[in-house]
Structure 1
Amino acid sequence: MRALPSLVAFGLTIVAAVGLTGCTTTVDLDPAPSANDPLCAEVASRLPGSVSGQARLWTDAQATGAWGVPGDSKVLLTCGVEPPGPTTLPCQDVSGVDWIIDDSDAPRFRVTTFGRTPAVEIYLDTTADENGEGVSSRDVLDALSPIVSVLPVDGQCLDRGEATPAA
């Protein structure tokens, strides 16, 4: 008979734990292949509490960051992705960091550092919310470029006219 109160207490503990985890604001992400690079730890430790008016959310993967509201992350950052090779995608310098811009899924964008190892990739959703406000890609890159600038430079974007044609 003594086991019954113990079982009830255990059952209530499980129900409470499940209820609490349902309210979590942790964003489920996968770590990049080189997420354990010490330079990614340097980047991750410097990530700001807000970006473009979006609050930082907890993530469950090493060397990542997320900003937005629970259930609707507007900005996702992953350090340690494979550095991109030459591309014809547009490249933009922001505070000394070159970013390759993939706008093929606009208003959602993927921007990846070019000429930095390890590389950083950012997904951002500029779709306006119910208040007509969206994330500004310029604000995101202005906030995160100085942080990413700690990564060593091993290349830079060139204008098409400066590129050496393949033989």
Structure 2
Amino acid sequence: MRRSFSLLTAGLVWAVSGCTAPVVVEPAPYAGDPGCAAVMLGIPDEVGGLARHETSSQATAAYGDEPRIIVRCGVEVPGPSSERCLAIETPAAFADWLVLEEDDVWRAIAFGRNPAMEVVIPKIRADQAVGEILAAFSPSATLADRTGLECR
């Protein structure tokens, strides 16, 4: 009896030590859009050497430790804009992104796609590599329907 209790205890300790709490991410307003399922299934498991972590909300992802790269599908679909627009072409996809500079982050929103994906990149993580990070998400962003808008 003592041996089975010890094995049970060891198993529980092992199971608990391997678990981490999900990263809390606020879902986007339209996270329940059925198109977000395909978009989120297409996102990579790793970006720029940062592993993807489990999150608390539907249609979200988090990469790395604090400060994290955060991805949300189902943000407000942008209309015509005068904001900086970056066209990213990879062998797998061609996607347009509105890139907004904020205090400590770059906020990029897939442009011309519905549902829209948002990628929030801390400047400390990739101030000079925003394009490379967006290239990793471009194939999944293009799984959303086109709206007809594109970068000029």
Q: TM-score, normalised by structure 1?
A: 0.71
Unmatched runs of 5 consecutive residues or more in structure 1: 1-15, 160-167
- Taking only aligned residues, the RMSD between alpha carbons, in angstroms, comes to 2.3
- Larger RCO (CA within 8 A; separation ≥ 6): 2
Pick the structure with greater CA Rg. 1
Task: Say if 2:71 and 2:119, in contact at 8 Å, map to a contact too.
Answer: yes
Pairing 1:87–2:81 present = yes
Q: Show CA shifts across 1:4-53 (max 9, x none).
A: xxxxxxxxxxxx9xxx69x7342101211221122101111222111011
Q: How many residues align?
A: 133
Letter in 2 for 1:124: I
- Name stretches of at least 5 consecutive residues in structure 2 with no aligned partner: 1-11
Does 2:106 align with 1:112? Answer: no
Report % sequence identity. Answer: 35
Cα displacement string for residues 37-71 of structure 1 (whole angstroms, at most 9, x for unaligned residues): 221011112221110111111101001111012xx
* 1:24 maps to 2:26: no
Residue aligned with 2:113, SS: coil
Write out the 4+ residue segments of structure 1 that deviate beyond 6 Å after TM superposition.
none
Aligned with residue 145 of structure 1, among 124, 138, 144: 138
1:56 equivalent in alignment to 2:49: no
Distance 1:104 1:46 in 2: 27
Q: 1:135 offset after TM fit, Å?
A: 8.0
Alignment check: 8 A CA contact 2:96 2:151 kept: no
The answer as to whether partners of 1:98 and 1:156 remain within 8 angstroms in 2 is no
Deviation at 1:86, TM superposition (A): 2.2
8 Å Cα contact 1:66-1:74 kept in structure 2:
yes
